[in-house]
Each structure stands twice: as structure tokens, then as C-alpha cells.
Amino acid sequence: MTEVPVFSTLPNHNTISRAYEQIRRFVRTTPLIRSDHLSQLIHGEVLVKAESLQVTGAFKFRGALYRLLNLNHEQKERGVIAYSSGNFAAGLAAAGQILKIPVRLVMPHDAPKAKIQNAEYYGAQVILCHSVTPSREEAASDMARELAETHSATLLHPFDDYEIIVGQASVALELQGQLEEKNQMCDHLLCPVGGGSLVAGSSLVFTNVAEVWAVEVDGYQGMNLSLKQGKRCRADGSIPSDCDALMALEPGVANLDITLQTNVRGITVNSDTVHDAVRIGFQEMNLVLEPSGAVAIAAIMENPELFENKTVVIIASGGNVDPEKYASILQSKEDKKVSIRQ
């Protein structure tokens, strides 16, 4: 049975456009890059929206900035607290630094060092959470809630938040403008999914224009399960994964509501293919992608038949990866190195 909608009226194009205008002077317009290899694979056209080149290395900066801009004066004075495995943490820290709003962040103790250092670099106070019960994200969330009460600070959710979803939708709005400039259509839009703010925001822009896909990694396909059941479902999280930014076990309530109303489809990929996708990003496009940021590339590599003869846009959502981990991914499977020339 489908859950009762959270939104009787979804955020519209005007709302998203106004949000984009608010944050536009702070964000980078990230490039749209053609992948010859993936285009040949589907006998169509594949374009990659490189949000890995965004300020702080991920799309999360957009939603964080819009959220802070819309705090009231008292909330700005008291500051904010949030939990994050990394990319939202850096985005929120950078937004707080720009707007001079104090930011405290609870991060899982096993978050990549690069992501912890990013958040600290932008001036946030980082508190590490060592608990993993009932999951690393939920433990960090509980800790952030307690700290917000202690410090009388505004508690922010990294993805299940109306204004953050609207802010993330600016990725798709910007993309839409780039496609219009190139006089290109989009048949499929593929978005990496952890909690779902990117795919929810993107579907608000591309609904009735393209088929929007939520791409998750095996073991953490909460959105995929939820879309199939029409209600919020929980993944088991039993499969080890390098996709640390996509380890939410279930989608946000608001995010799922939007994706159900906009008819988003779900697809799941395995970690081995994700590593191949990271290598494709580097070898062909000179993009440094973290595994979480490359899952949409992996979706095409695993399922080319779904996109045959179509124009597909991939959002490469993040590029924050520890150098050692990145080097090991690039150097692994040398005997099966992905060929980008045919």
C-alpha cells in the first residue's frame, strides 16, 4: 500500500529557479562531458554532469548553502548541527564559513580521512561517532540530536529536508539549461542515491521530460525497495562497500514521497563494477570520482541494453576520496584493465 504523500503540492519550477538564483553566485557551474566509451557501449549518447568538480567536491554544497541562507537570524546566531558521512559535512561547513554561521558536525569514525579533513578545513567542529548501532548513520544521527538539544542549535538532516531537496534540484536545473544550449534532449537521467535528495530534486525538474533513475549499490538499495513497494523499506546493509556516501539504509520520508509522485525508477549495481566506473572516469574524462560518485556510470556498464540508442545523462555526484583508496582502485585488476578505446 502506498504511503500518504508528504507533499500535497510538489515544489515547482519557479521555487527551484528562485533557489538557484539565491545560491548561484557561490556555486560552480559544473561541466557536461561526453563519454565516448559509454556512448559507444549503448550506441547512443552519454553525457556526464561532473558535480565532482563542485565547491567541496560534491553536489551537497548546493543544498547546504540554500538551507543556511533560509535560516532566521536567531538560528544563524546559534549555529547548526548535523550528522554526515562526509560530503554533506564539507558542504555545510563551507556554507557556514561563507555565511559566518557556526557549524558542528557528527561524522562516523570510519568516514574517509579526506572527508573529515575537508569539513575541518572549512572551519566546522567535527565530533566523531564510534557507535554503529543500529547503523553508523543512525548512531551519528542520534548523537547529533543530543548535541543540538545541549547547544540549543538547529538540527539539520543531510537529505530528508524540504529546502535541501530544493537546493539540490539546482543541479538538474543547471543541467537543463546546458542541454538546451547544446540543443540536446535527455531520455534518461541517472542519479546516485544514498538518502535521495539529489534524485528527488532532479525528478522535480525532469519529470515528464526524461526517465529518472535512482542508482544504488548492492546492500544499500533502500530507495529501490521502497519504490517497488510504494512505501518506505529498509535495506539490510550486509554487503561491504566502498560507497560510504550511499550507506543510508532507507530513503528520506520527503525524498521517497517526491520520487513516488514523479515515477522515479530504481536500479542497483555491484561494487566491482563501481570500481571499473571510477577507472573509466579517470582514464577517459580525467575525473577523480569517489566510488559513491561513480555508481551511475556503473549502472550503464552493467545494463547497457536498458539505454540502447538513447541519450543518457549521468550525475557524477562526488570526488572526495582518500588518495590511498583511490590509488588502490586505479591499480587493481591491472590484468582486466577497462579499455576505453574500441
- DSSP character string of 13-39: HHHHHHHHHHHTTTS----EEE-HHHH
* 341 belongs to a structural domain: no
Average pLDDT of the residues in 159-187: 96
CA distance readout (Å), 337 to 103, 194, 278? 42, 28, 12
Note down the domain range covering 316: 13-58+162-336
| Percent helix, strand and coil across the chain, each to the nearest 5 | 50, 15, 35
Q: Mention every residue, 6+ apart, whose C-beta is less than 8 A from residue 173.
A: 16, 17, 20, 205
Boundary of a domain, candidates 124, 156, 188: 156
Q: Is residue 234 part of a domain?
A: yes
Same domain, 82 and 216: no
CB 204 within 8 A of CB 255: no
Residue range 213-218: average pLDDT? Answer: 97
Contact 45, 39 (CB under 8 A): yes
CATH number, domain with residue 81: 3.40.50.1100
Q: Which residue has the cell 517526491?
A: 258
Residues 113 and 132 in one domain: yes
Q: Which three cell numbers stand for residue 328?
A: 588502490
Are 167 and 312 in the same domain?
yes
Strands 154-156 and 103-108, sheet pairing = unpaired
- Residue that finishes a domain, picked among 96, 127, 156: 156
Contact in structure between 31 and 184 (CB atoms under 8 Å): no
Q: In which band, very low, low, confident or very high, does the pLDDT at 111 lie, cut at 50, 70 and 90?
A: confident
pLDDT (tens digit, 9 = 90+) per residue, 244-288?
999 999 999 999 999 999 999 999 999 899 999 999 999 999 999
Measure CA 32 to chain center.
17
Q: Residue 4: inside a domain, yes or no?
A: no
Domain assignment present for residue 200? The answer is yes
pLDDT in tens, 223-239: 999 999 999 999 999 89
Q: Please give the helix or strand (H or E) that residue 83 lies within, else none.
A: strand 80-83
